[in-house]
Structure 1
């Protein structure tokens, strides 16, 4: 009979979904000489890391933040023991950090072993989020509005990527967003991205956006192209609201091999390409927002990405923000913030742009909610 330990993946699959951190920690103590173990999850704003095993314990420190931002292990020695911070991520989506203090000798083999545990735990946490609220509670510092609950539940994730691309998005205000939203899906060499700005405020705007997003998903999953997606969503909104409410939407279908982009511009979201040190606004002919009129028909427009390009898409809560009568944020301040992201991955860049927007408001409350989506095409 083999005395080899049960693989951690098998242990996690057999565990109750709300006990995954404890199962991983016990495995690390038994087989990897671990002392203190902590599982840290990124909060809704991705500005802090919240502990799961000791909820009243300290939040993630600077080393954990470095691991989370770089998505690389951070290892070292302190007081005679080894520490390791391993990223918890799945298909480019950053969930958090696994922190391990161990008595085993440091080295590449130990880092690889701990990284394997982190990878298995990340996949399990991602799956378990649908059947337990434990992990969602840990990421919330306050209660969400009902509108925000709908929007967060509707999101595809916070980031997605592989060797070809990395895309990331952020909603603000995180705990009170209402009509703005983003969606994406990967199908072979085709990445579809949409950014929406639902008409109105509060729960009404969130419900409208929910109808629009699900109508586009329904069309897409039936094999429809982005024109048909826009038209079905527009018809669905018009049937429900009779033109009294609409969703300004930008739909993009990106060829991850050649960089060709097909776009349906149905309203206010704007796009800009950062290419080396230059910025190139994507100029598209705006068509009618979804749901404004019955039987609206749409056409595609095209532009091209080059290897290494960064594509930024923002809702009008970003580019058209004019706090205190200032010039719109999108005229120059947004580009200055985007310039500061040159050495950051897309997952960090969205936060930089949003922090720039908050600073631009100089302490005043935003008049609108906001979405930023950033795509790096690596090819």
Structure 2
């Protein structure tokens, strides 16, 4: 009698990068009473889940959306079907659906969860080596500027024992220069939100210069002041002060909740706790690249355990479609209050959808970024 392999991981690592769903499906059909398997991936707007194995099939329905939103296994079909989140390091990719021919899915839940975890990790690793999965999640063609921006993003969510983090960009298929970046190392979480100057591919190129300059400094061990100054010098050297970049750099101490900030422009930070939403008061310094040899200073503020930190670009807080009051005056606060019980991954989508509704079908004048961080203050 054949012995079931301990893990599907070795088979996924040996497979071509574009055939991972088929390898996982074959493993499940070989070793379990499985009749059907589908892999769903979330589109760029995080609004629908699209099938990979059968691209002509319908998008994932309510059970798949519930699994994706809750990040919990969902049993359906009289316990004959299970849906499992495809998530790695907090980054939500999609959902794995397994339909059994006989038996109760709960009997195999531990093994199915392990397959989903291995598949999620493999899909993320393979993303740079095949276009298959990107073609699934793109429901229309990206502009060249948007192509550059999506290639530059770190991911759409990140999590650990001490924090939950998510970000979203709008419009997904035609963004310009707004951007976010993050990195976690040891007890420090660095977050950057950028308001790009201009539009089209030139705005995306400006952001690309800034983000890579800050990453270069950060990866060399530089603090956020040095990151801001290197990026400012790089932009000024390239554009001579004719283009600049409003940026908010944050470094969060995950053990104590102290936040060091370099406020170089228009992104706004807010703290939400127990129903109250309070703007973070920071003294703005010059945008990056406005002058040669610009120098920056840090400011500090404190997060309490369980606090939520939100950062929005000017495409959110200054949006004023059709002569309406700026979205940040009151509508933003209303939208943020509706997210109180939602995890960051859902909260950013709620705010973006409310922003779309605020525009009432008109095209936004600027792209928009929202970042949401929950600091949990748990130790590893």
Map of 2:283 onto structure 1:
285
Offset of 1:163 from its aligned partner?
Answer: 1.6
Map of 1:20 onto structure 2:
20
CA-to-aligned-CA distance 1:151-195 (integer Å, 9 cap, x gap):
000000000001211110001100000100000000011100000
Map of 1:66 onto structure 2:
66
Map of 1:340 onto structure 2:
338
Offset of 1:32 from its aligned partner?
Answer: 1.7
Map of 2:194 onto structure 1:
196
Structure 2: how far apart are the matches of 1:343 and 1:57?
33
Structure 2: how far apart are the matches of 1:314 and 1:220?
22
2:264 counterpart (260, 263, 266): 266
Aligned residue for 2:236, secondary structure, equals helix
Map of 1:256 onto structure 2:
254
Map of 2:208 onto structure 1:
210
State how 1:154-193 maps to structure 2 within 5 Å.
154-193=152-191
Offset of 1:7 from its aligned partner?
Answer: 2.4
Is the Cα contact below 8 Å between 1:41 and 1:139 reproduced in 2? yes
Structure 1: how far apart are the matches of 2:169 and 2:203?
14
Structure 2: how far apart are the matches of 1:155 and 1:5?
36
Aligned residues: 377
2:94 counterpart (93, 96, 121): 96
Is the Cα contact below 8 Å between 2:82 and 2:105 reproduced in 1? no
Is the Cα contact below 8 Å between 1:193 and 1:252 reproduced in 2? yes
Offset of 1:108 from its aligned partner?
Answer: 4.5
Is the Cα contact below 8 Å between 1:246 and 1:290 reproduced in 2? yes
Structure 2: how far apart are the matches of 1:198 and 1:241?
14
Structure 2: how far apart are the matches of 1:84 and 1:187?
35
Structure 1: how far apart are the matches of 2:4 and 2:336?
51
Is the Cα contact below 8 Å between 2:187 and 2:255 reproduced in 1? yes
Map of 1:353 onto structure 2:
351
Aligned residue for 2:151, secondary structure, equals helix
1:150 counterpart (148, 151, 158): 148
Aligned residue for 2:340, secondary structure, equals coil
Matched, 1:49 2:49: yes
Instruction: Extract unaligned runs of 5+ from structure 1.
Output: none
Structure 2: how far apart are the matches of 1:218 and 1:314?
24
Offset of 1:104 from its aligned partner?
Answer: 4.7
CA-to-aligned-CA distance 1:353-378 (integer Å, 9 cap, x gap):
01111111111110001101110111
Aligned residue for 2:235, secondary structure, equals helix
CA-to-aligned-CA distance 1:1-49 (integer Å, 9 cap, x gap):
9733362001100100000000000111111211111000000000000
2:301 counterpart (290, 300, 303): 303
Offset of 1:311 from its aligned partner?
Answer: 0.7
Matched, 1:11 2:11: yes
Structure 2: how far apart are the matches of 1:337 and 1:249?
24
Is the Cα contact below 8 Å between 1:50 and 1:60 reproduced in 2? yes
User: So what's the TM-score if we normalise by structure 1?
Assistant: 0.98
Structure 1: how far apart are the matches of 2:83 and 2:305?
32
Structure 1: how far apart are the matches of 2:186 and 2:163?
13
**Shift in alpha-carbon separation, 1:2–1:77, aligned structure 2, 3 A:** closer
Structure 2: how far apart are the matches of 1:164 and 1:47?
27
Is the Cα contact below 8 Å between 1:192 and 1:253 reproduced in 2? yes
User: So what's the TM-score if we normalise by structure 2?
Assistant: 0.97
Runs of 4+ in 1 over 4 A off after TM superposition: none
Is the Cα contact below 8 Å between 2:81 and 2:105 reproduced in 1? no
Structure 2: how far apart are the matches of 1:68 and 1:268?
33
